Amino acid sequence: MTTPLVGPDPDDPSFVYEEFALLGDNCAEFDLPWDGTAHVERVETVLSDGRKSSAIKWGSGSPEVVFLHGGAQNAHTWDTVALMLRPRSLLALDLSGHGHSSWRADGSYNPRTNAVDAAATIDEHAPDARLIVAMSLGGLTANSLAATFPWLVERLVVIDVTPGVNRDKAADIHAFIEGPQSFASFTEIFDRTVMFNPTRSASSLRRGILHNAHRNADGTWEWNYDRSHVGDSGTPPEVERLPADLWDDVSEIPAPYLLLRAADSPVVDDEDVAELLRRKPDARVEVVQASGHSIQGDQPAVLAGIIERELALLDG
């Protein structure tokens, strides 16, 4: 192991994962106040075909911000940002096929199908949401959501993605996602994750894996997200074969739009920004310094500040 693993060893047979028991670690890493409690719970929506869409609800009121994560992630990617935004009420979705949400029999997890599932969840649990914050695959999903269900999206923040994304721009992301499904030990899955996320702390990566993988009875570890539809190329269809007309969704979005471009990520280039502004001339673009693709992981305080600013703009 090249990076020391801090905390109880997840390979120890006595180790038990409790998803909300790790929030204190988030607070400790970023010097946030923590009294051992948080108003947070799991909520579910039963979709029209009987599948379940799961989400994490923060706060006691109707959520005013909804979060959509990227491919191969889950709702916990937003935990630190949510803790920084306390006591605001928020909703972080597990996209279909990810986290606690049901897998699709057809393996179709593209932005259009994701948007339909997300709309049902938002309509039930966050009908008064004022802001959607979404990254990567979640960002493309948010574009389709805002174009197809505009009454659910009052304002939109998209993190480091446009419909111009392709395999070359997201090469490192593809390489990580297309790796093994199972690992002999937590040490093995941890070391691979560290290798592909050199800017992240060992503590944050440990948490991320525990939220996104599980230990089998034989002691091996597997990712939780649906990889059953991965083809011969090793690439999930929603990553390799995005609908060709996703830019049309951007053209149809009536809501105010902010694109956050990560300074250290190649996923969005200047041509993408130019096309975004051609499709939606009133869109704003900001660059977040010292951040890779997952701004919520690399610069959570910066993102939390931007979210507070966007909500303030809604307040006038």
Environment class of residue 68 by beta-carbon count within 10 Å: exposed (0-12), middle (13-18) or buried (19+)?
Answer: buried
Q: Where are the domains of the chain?
A: 41-315
The predicted structure's pLDDT at residue 229:
64
Asked whether residue 206 carries a pLDDT value surpassing 50, the answer given is yes
pLDDT band at 169 (very low <50, low <70, confident <90, very high): confident
Does the annotation count 144 as an active-site position?
Answer: no
Asked whether residue 201 carries a pLDDT value surpassing 50, the answer given is yes
Does the annotation count 160 as an active-site position?
Answer: yes
Buried b (16+ CB within 10 A) or exposed e, 290-312: ebbbbbbbbbbebbbebbeebbe
Does the annotation count 191 as an active-site position?
Answer: no
Active-site option among 79, 94, 160, 298: 160
pLDDT band at 174 (very low <50, low <70, confident <90, very high): confident
pLDDT band at 8 (very low <50, low <70, confident <90, very high): confident
Asked whether residue 82 carries a pLDDT value surpassing 60, the answer given is yes
Average pLDDT score, the chain: 92
pLDDT, tens only, 223-259: 999 987 654 444 444 444 577 789 999 999 999 999 9
pLDDT band at 220 (very low <50, low <70, confident <90, very high): very high
Fold of 41-315: Rossmann fold (3.40.50)
The predicted structure's pLDDT at residue 106:
87
List all residues 6 or more positions away from 139 whose beta carbon is below 8 Å from its beta carbon: 68, 70, 158, 159, 160, 161
Active-site option among 96, 136, 204, 294: 136
- If DSSP states are collapsed to H, E and C, what string results for 48-73? CCCCEEEEEEECCCCCCEEEECCCCC
The predicted structure's pLDDT at residue 235:
42
The predicted structure's pLDDT at residue 237:
44
The predicted structure's pLDDT at residue 170:
85
The predicted structure's pLDDT at residue 172:
84
Active-site option among 272, 293, 294, 298: 293
The predicted structure's pLDDT at residue 4:
61
Asked whether residue 2 carries a pLDDT value surpassing 90, the answer given is no
Percent of all residues in the chain with a pLDDT value above 70, rounded to a whole number: 94
Mean pLDDT of 179-203: 91
- Of the candidates 200, 196, 209, the one whose C-alpha atom is nearest the C-alpha of residue 15 is 209
The pTM of the full predicted model, rounded to 2 decimals, is 0.94
pLDDT, tens only, 26-55: 999 999 999 999 999 999 999 999 999 999
Percent of all residues in the chain with a pLDDT value above 90, rounded to a whole number: 82
